Amino acid sequence: MEINTRTIFYIYITLVFVSVVAFAFIKCKYNINSFDQYLYIEHNENTTPMDWVKFVLTHFIVQFVFGFVFTLDTFYEMFAKTILLEIALVQIKNCSVTQLGDMNSAFLSIIVGMVSFYIGGYVQALIFPNKSKKH
């Protein structure tokens, strides 16, 4: 039985949307900031090298796995999702819909995420050359 990765990808997109709404509710209504260290990076004198490592590695590993699972066939959809998600996360950071926050961590997330997604998809195509159609 062949698994249709595109169908799974759209289920994943739906789950991301639901998760972002739930995350916004938890963060803004109950002021729970447990995930902030993985989702945002501050550009100030208090930021340690370990904060940078944690932020970049989290994004790299997650997006690499997604690239491997969803293949390069979904690269453009993932790129659009990543941009929209990162903008939403910037808005959620300060619990403000009208005030656009600092986009530096969003830009870094998009770049690291898409490069690692591509690498994951490329590795997947090398291991399973008949699974992915695009390179």
Phi, psi of 56 (to 5 degrees): -70, -45
State how far the Cα of 118 lies from the Cα of 60, in Å rounded to an integer.
11
Element housing 51 (H / E): helix 49-70
pLDDT of residue 135: 45
CA distance 21 to 127: 36
Per-residue pLDDT at 34: 86
pLDDT for position 131? 64
The domain limits of the chain are: 5-28+52-127
The reported pTM is 0.85
* 74-119 pLDDT tens trace: 999 999 999 999 988 888 888 877 777 778 888 999 999 999 999 9
